[in-house]
A = this chain, B = another copy of it.
Amino acid sequence: MPPRRPTQRDIAERAGVSTATVSYVLSGRRGGAKPPPPETRERVLRAVAETGYQLDHAARSLRRQRTDVVALMYPAPSSPWSDRLAEELQVAAAGRGFAVVALPVITGASTAAILRVLKQRYIDGAVLLPDCPLDGAELAALAAQGCSLVVFDDDLEPGGFDVVRQDRASACRAAVERLIGAGHRRVAFLAHADEHGGALADVKMRSYTDGLVAHGIAVDPELVRPVADSRSDAYAAVRDLLRRPEPPTALLSATDRAAVDGIWAARDLGVAVPDQLAVIGIGNIPEGLMISPALTTVGAAALDFSREVARLFERLDASAPLPGVELAATWELITRASG
């Protein structure tokens, strides 16, 4: 049987003071009035040390109507972007006494439990990376209940929450234009698999097809492969494409990882990149810089979320609700050597 956790009442008895005094000592807070004198303070702290007392988060949250916890929500699996944001958030949060919890959203698994974390006030605020499963109405409802939200989304209008614009569609389209502008007519596309579908997958696919069609190029279904989410599938698909009688001369990939695998496949077949096969990825992951030739890609230019993090804490610190604003974190075509 685990012994009952000590409460402030236990500490108070042990130290011969009231629970109010215990709370004042522990919180250091005292609404303007003087703090308890050192002697009282010490008795309390000694009792805390002796019993191993720990604050009860639920009780404090209920009473104070805030949790001092913020969340980072993102579609799983994690990425260098979500990792970096988690780090920046945690550094900023530590200085203000906030804890950070990450909420990876598993595709396919039920999202009910994870949405409960937001709706039932487990947390005071959150940063939502792109493609989280919440619509504008749900976000507005959360904001109206006092949840501080910074949301990465290219379509939503701010409304009690802030929206970070990446303009991913334009950047993806620029990649297609670059390939066609360089004279490519047979452009292959490594698409997301169906089970990794979603808004962004659609944006990527539409950028590809719209780009081709806008230049009078028919979309050849043979050149579109749903392999962008699997390294081994991507490698095999590109090898297969390059061995065809009429191989593609350019490759756009929905993920940088698959693009890198494509470059490997090309290298292993003796196909020169970019001369015989131009390759452009999407996402701008660090690995793209490591391969030779370095990967041309589409994505955010810098691994830096300081503005978004700062904005979240502005919201949390504000005494009155802040209006929703738009922040720009625009995706760009990042031209390197591969295409």
Of B59, B103, B145, B292, which is within 8 A of A62 by CB? Answer: B59
What is the chain B residue whose CB lies nearest that of A84? B77
Is A55 a contact of B120 with CB atoms below 8 Å?
Answer: yes
A67 located at the interface, meaning its Cβ lies under 8 Å from any Cβ of chain B in the complex: yes
- The 0/1 profile, CB within 8 Å of B marked 1, for residues 107-147 of chain A is 00110111011011110000000000000000001011110
Any chain B CB within 8 A of the CB of A16?
no
A78 near B: Cβ within 8 Å?
A: yes
A244 within 8 A of B: no
Cβ–Cβ contact B292 & A268, under 8 A? yes
Q: Are A56 and B62 in contact (CB under 8 A)?
A: yes
CA distance A121 to B6 in the complex (A): 13
Closest B residue to A56 by CB, please name it: B121
In the bound complex, CA of A215 to CA of B30 (Å): 66
Chain B residues near A290 (CB, 8 Å)?
231-232, 235, 261, 264
- CB pair B109 A87 closer than 8 Å: yes
Tally of contact residues, A, Cβ under 8 A = 68
Whether A94 contacts B120 in the complex (CB less than 8 A), given A3-B144, A114-B99, A264-B291, comes out as no
List chain A positions with a Cβ less than 8 A from chain B.
1-3, 5, 52, 54-62, 67, 69, 71, 76-78, 80, 82-83, 86-87, 90-91, 93-94, 97-104, 106, 109-110, 112-114, 116-117, 119-122, 141, 143-146, 231-232, 235, 261, 264, 268, 286-287, 289-292, 320-321
- A-B CB contact pairs (8 Å), 21 listed: A1-B321, A2-B146, A3-B144, A54-B120, A55-B120, A57-B121, A58-B59, A58-B61, A58-B62, A62-B62, A69-B122, A77-B78, A77-B80, A78-B82, A86-B106, A87-B109, A90-B109, A90-B113, A97-B113, A264-B290, A264-B291
